[in-house]
């Protein structure tokens, strides 16, 4: 009889433990929204009706008519396929700022950044690609691209072209101190336009 009481107590505690674990998992899962739109709504925006909208005075009411409430399905993103790493981005109503690191040998001088799906006609920046404007290996640089009248959410591929300057392997005073070649890489940029 004593062993039977111990067994029943053990089964009851085991059952209570399982119920406690299930309840904990239920409450934890209720705290995680998993909603890309809601999770990316940062001040001065608010989440309402399945979308983000401008709420400058933080009163929980959209500043614009609900017909103009922005909605998007993409996640915040900034990346390149090769040669470079996007370390960060800032998107405002008139410019896109990219923090880029050069991941290969030599000095990379960006000659063109093309954002074809930004605004009505795309957004592009073209430079001369001079060595003194370049990014050395494993170094980073902030590049600002002027893009007027950006919409509420940017969702575009990126095409980046650059000249790579590698030191010449010739000994002594070389007439051409660098071997120069062109590279191109593609990437992707998505994010909310901040004020």
* Stated length of the chain: 195
Residue 18: its H or E element? helix 2-31
Domain boundary among 45, 73, 101: 73
Burial 26-53 (b: 16+ CB within 10 A, else e): eeeeeeeeeeebeebbeeebbbbeebbb
22 plus 79 within the same structural domain: no
For residues 66 and 139, state if they share a domain.
no
pTM, full prediction: 0.60
Q: What is the pLDDT of residue 149?
A: 78
Higher pLDDT, 68 or 145: 145
- Cα(51)–Cα(38) distance, integer angstroms: 7
Same-domain pairing of 59 and 135: no
Q: Which of 44-58, 74-88, 130-144, 170-184 has the highest mean pLDDT?
A: 130-144
For the chain, how big is the Rg over CA atoms in Å? 27
Domain shared by 126 and 48, yes or no: no
Kindly report the CATH number assigned to the domain that includes residue 94: 2.60.40
Q: Is the pLDDT of residue 86 over 60?
A: yes
Do both 58 and 20 map to the same domain?
no
Question: What's residue 195's pLDDT?
Answer: 67
- CA atoms within 13 A of residue 91's CA, in its CB half-sphere: 20
Mark whether 38 and 134 lie in a shared domain: no
What percentage of the chain reaches a pLDDT higher than 70?
Answer: 65
Number of domains into which the chain is organized? 3
The reply to whether 85 and 111 lie within a common domain is yes
Picking from 163, 99, 96, 105, the residue whose alpha carbon sits closest to that of residue 134 is: 163
Q: Is pLDDT of 78 > 90?
A: yes
What pLDDT score was predicted for residue 34? 43
Q: Could you tell me the residue range of the domain that residue 50 belongs to?
A: 33-73
Task: Examine the pLDDT at 118 and tell me if it is beyond 70.
Answer: yes
The reply to whether 83 and 136 lie within a common domain is yes
Per-residue pLDDT of 1-58, as tens digits, reads 555 555 455 455 565 566 655 555 444 444 433 444 566 667 777 776 566 677 777 7
Of residues 137 and 21, which shows the higher confidence score? 137
Q: Are residues 8 and 97 in the same domain?
A: no
Give the DSSP H or E segment for 139: none
Query: Is the domain of 95 the same as that of 188?
Result: yes
Q: Are 100 and 187 contained in the same domain?
A: yes
My answer on whether 124 and 142 are in the same domain is: yes
């Amino acid at each position: 009889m004593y062993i039977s009481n111990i067994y029943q107590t053990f089964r009851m505690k085991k059952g209570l433990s399982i119920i406690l674990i299930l309840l904990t998992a239920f409450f934890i899962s209720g705290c995680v929204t998993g909603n890309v739109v809601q999770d990316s709504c940062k001040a001065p925006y608010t989440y309402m009706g399945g979308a983000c909208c401008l709420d400058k005075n933080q009163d929980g009411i959209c500043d614009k008519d609900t017909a103009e409430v922005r909605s998007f399905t993409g996640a915040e993103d900034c990346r390149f396929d090769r040669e470079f790493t996007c370390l960060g981005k800032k998107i405002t109503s008139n410019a896109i700022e990219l923090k880029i690191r050069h991941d290969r040998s030599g000095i990379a001088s960006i000659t063109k950044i093309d954002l074809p799906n930004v605004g009505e006609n795309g957004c592009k920046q073209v430079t001369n690609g001079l060595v003194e404007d370049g990014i050395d290996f494993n170094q980073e640089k902030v590049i600002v691209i002027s893009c007027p009248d950006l919409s509420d959410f940017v969702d575009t591929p990126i095409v980046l072209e650059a000249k790579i300057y590698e030191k010449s392997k010739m000994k002594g005073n070389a007439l051409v101190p660098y071997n120069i070649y062109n590279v191109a890489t593609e990437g992707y940029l998505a994010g909310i336009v901040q004020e």
